[in-house]
Amino acid sequence: MSGDWWDSAVIYEVYPRSFADGDGDGVGDLPGLSERLPYIASLGVDGIWMTPFQPSPQVDQGYDVSDYCGVDPLFGTMADFDQLLDKAHGQGLRVLLDVVPNHCSSAHPLFQQALAAGPGSPERELFHFVEGRSSSPDSPSDLPPNNWQSVFGGRAWSRANPGSATDTQWYLHLFSSGQPDWNWRNPEVGDYFEGVLRFWFDKGVDGLRIDVAHALFKADGMPDAPSASPVVDGLRSNPLVSDQEEVHEVYRRWRRLAEKYQPHRLLVGEVNLEPARAARYTRADEMHQAFAFAFVKLGWDPAAWAKVGTELEEARKLHGAAPTWALENHDIVRSVTRFGGGLQGTRRSRAALVALLGLPGAAYIYQGQELGLPEVDVPEEARVDPMWARGGVTRDGARVPLPWTEDPAGSHGFSAVGGAPSWLPTPDGWGTRAVERQQRDPGSHLALARQAIALRRRLWADGTFTVNDGGTWRLQEGGLLLCQRSPCFLVAVAMGSAPARLPAGVVLFSAFPLEQDGWLQPDNAAWLRL
């Protein structure tokens, strides 16, 4: 096998506050994660991606960072992180961290200094402070500078100093008002973030996942958007707030920095754009990977899978980087629920996981996906996602703490017995999907995930899978979806309502045993050697 380690990697996303609680306060932390690293290693994955654990007021569960080079006491200490990093490397796991370069916390010292410095100061040039519009000559700057909307609902602007007669500026926040956007047209911002990257790379972190990587730069002059509708599709409805051409130079700079380290550090982008646009971020001198966002939110629709797969393949041919596959993350409804819920959704999520791991390129799985966890309907009074308060949408259902034990004590083993209740409540029956229970069941979702990852590794080792593989997608009669990654291998997914005849070949693996040779029953997936 040639290429870099990440070309064939399976990465496990860890949402630290929901993975394992080491100190009994009801919130997952770094010591809890360290203790559970052997479980992650037992899956056969190549590394972990950790969502933010840096100091933060936790307005957006850590994506409002107040210190990019620290550890929030909620999660532990820097010594805890150093120990975790060493232990992960000792288990053969690489470690990727989240970096959030589009915005910070309103509690960040540089933003606080900007507020104090006032209009016209160099401190304010680090962010987007702008005079507003006026509804009348007697009401200066009483309206936002433009019609841009926040991802979380409502306008994307807040007054810097409400009620002040002398400070009438507004500041931009594409997310919550507690997350002011950096002004990337100021070179000092780029220099600041280079220091952040160097800090973590010097510690030995293996790579970074870059949050809303396509944002950063906003259209010059910040004119009104074509539409003032709420931005609920990852910024796509407002072309002025993301995908500006200048952003690519940021990632060229970061790529040069990543390649100064040995081994080279990995850059993975959250780029929520159409495949042809997203692929531009993985050109040879930019990021190494970008999540296939067109794929990650798909339902159980064979035509949609074939269409998106074909678009991603065309983008790969144009720019050279294979898609980075995922079907779940901490921001979207879990696949069991998206695919129909209940027994049907569970079967389909098993099939989808097998399909995902057979596709050409790296694969990312989200904690609990290997257990077949469904979305949880978190009671309204327990919801903490800021999107719920501002926009009536919640991501809490995908963030409920993992069930480690069948016994409900300690929130099913998430915390020590007698500890505080978990930060999000676990639902009735959560223990039926617990790690402990699935470890004993050779037919469990967990056992399937381990088997598929192990076989994937062997197929990379024996040359069946290569870095040059593509993906030819086609949809056959009866809802049989095929992705042929090479002349000798294809992935088949039966997405119709009746058994589908497989192409001639040897079935290497399937989500469920085949009930009849040569036929794939509905809601099953198989890998075939041709």
Which residues are part of the catalytic machinery?
Answer: 211, 270
Residue type, 247: V
The answer to whether 297 and 233 have CB atoms below 8 angstroms apart is no
First to last CA, the chain: 20
CA distance 298 to 296: 6
Residue type, 1: M
Provide DSSP, 193-243: HHHHHHHHHHHT--EEEETTTT-S---TT-PPPS--S---STTTT-TTSS-
The answer to whether 15 and 52 have CB atoms below 8 angstroms apart is no
The answer to whether 313 and 360 have CB atoms below 8 angstroms apart is no
For 129, phi and psi rounded to 5 degrees? -100, 125
Residues 6+ apart with CB under 8 A from 191: none
CA distance 50 to 30: 10
**Can you say whether the dihedral through the CA atoms of 168, 171, 175, 176 is positive or negative?**
negative
In order of 108, 195, 217, 282, 375, the CA distances from 285 in angstroms are 31, 20, 19, 8, 38
Max alpha carbon distance in the chain (Å)? 80
